[in-house]
Amino acid sequence: MGARPPAKRPPFAAEAERAPRGPVRSRRPFERSDERGFEDRRPEERDGEPRRSGPPRRERVRREPTDLRSFDGSPRRGRSDDWDIDAAAWAPEADLDIDAVEEPRTIRREPAGERRTARARAPREEAPRREEARPPRRAPAPAPAGPTRAELKAAATDTLQTGVQTLTVTEDEADMRVDRFLAARFPQLSFSYIQRIVRKGELRVNGRRVETKDRLEAGQAVRVPPLKLDQARPMSAKVGEDVAGFLASITLYEDADVMVLAKPAGLAVQGGSGTKKHLDGMLAVLTDEDGQRPRLVHRLDKDTSGCLLVAKSRFAAAALAKTFRTRAARKIYWSVVAGVPKPRQGRVSTYLAKEEREDESFMRIAKHGEKGASHAVSYYAVIDTMAQKLSWLSMKPVTGRTHQLRVHAAEIGHPILGDPKYFDVENWEIPGGIQHKLHLHARRIVVPHPRGKGTIDVSAPLPPHMEQTFNLLGWDVSRYDPIVEAPEE
């Protein structure tokens, strides 16, 4: 390798040296100026320069007007102050290889007169008119026959938007709760949606706000806000027959006014967010010629099995709702719990309140007088046990709060097996062969007939997973149930 050629002076170096030196700063605003570190000068040490926030601004070198020449020596018009030359960057000792830089093309400038002559152009041909240049516009196409895109979209929607409605409470609907009145009039509405519109004050009774637990009187005017109702799609004949056959297979009792169903575990009673298959929707296939369809009177949790009472007429729905409100209906549940409760028979009385946590709602024990707290009373009795590890409990709720029996079982220290909210399997030793499903079953329901025709007393068989547990533990379902001796309140 040959010796390195001496560094050549960059262009404009001489002009830069002759230029008056002013306060020139480096390209790097925080360049060290001494051995003490970054430059940190007080305002009075900056040559009278006023203090400014932020990094220092790059300054330009001002010079007198001079003729600037290109690399080939041709004159170039302009002023030196039109250029921003950093004196430090263009120092003579800068190591630059000018030979490696490609020289730019020389710009030759002619006198003004010559330029005008050179720029003279031949006359252009006359451009065609705009109308002649553009093709003729086509006539608009005729409107397509049949429904429009908007009409097709509206026909395919799953919801039906209604307007404001004013409903009159009939004699059969007198003394019904507001939420149950809406559920009876609009079976497509979910329970949570009804609670929300009443809580927000969108529903008015005789012009006043109400609560879901308020009772209605005959003749009152109920103003219902616009609703989004789930539009029931036409059910095919085969599907309708299958649904009707399924309902017939789980029917335990039926007459002209009432029917009792054995709800399977895992089937929702009403629709909700993401719930399309539910019993309330299936009951639509039983609509009679007068347009009346069976109505739910009470509810069971999705994972709870057993007796579910259904009213087949509006009169029966109002009468049975009054039966539940006056606590004239008796419901008996069977459950399998962890451990053995002591005493073996008891009464649980607490206050329950709803709580939301991480997109999940559950009930908790609350204090008397706490906002949203409701009184809940339950009775329990031990029917049989297995090695002090499991117990077969009979439970009777006096009140009808959400998750009441499940919370009360956990409160006494013996949660129900398979409860996803109130039972932790890691804290208990459970024998093998028991399915991890909720072991809670609505065994029996006893209510007076809505037309005074005696008493309806129906019992439901155990679901498959509880029947398997009973067979595994050797429990006999014909054993005496001591809960029938529990007092009535």
20 upstream amide cis, omega within 30 of 0:
no
- The two tokens of residue 44 are 């009075």
- The two tokens of residue 165 are 């409605």
The whole-angstrom separation of Cα 302 and Cα 431 is 25
Q: Could you give the 3-state DSSP secondary structure of residue 274? A: coil
CB-facing half-sphere around the CA of 350: CA atoms within 13 A = 22
Whether residue 301 lies in the annotated active site: yes
Cα→Cα distances 225→95, 115, 178, 463, Å: 83, 80, 14, 41
The whole-angstrom separation of Cα 332 and Cα 379 is 10
Beta strands in 174-250 (DSSP E): 204-205, 208-209, 221-224, 228-230
The whole-angstrom separation of Cα 215 and Cα 205 is 10
CB-facing half-sphere around the CA of 115: CA atoms within 13 A = 5
DSSP run (H or E) holding 331: strand 330-338
CB 376 within 8 A of CB 352: yes
- The two tokens of residue 423 are 């039972």
- 127: amino acid identity, one letter: A
The whole-angstrom separation of Cα 399 and Cα 389 is 29
The whole-angstrom separation of Cα 173 and Cα 184 is 9
Annotated catalytic residue, options 301, 384, 424, 476? 301
Give which of 104, 110, 64, 284 is closest to 187, Cα–Cα: 284
Phi, psi dihedrals of residue 195, rounded to the nearest 5°: -60, -40
Strands 455-459 and 330-338: unpaired
Strands 440-448 and 305-311: parallel
Q: Which residues are the active-site residues? A: 301
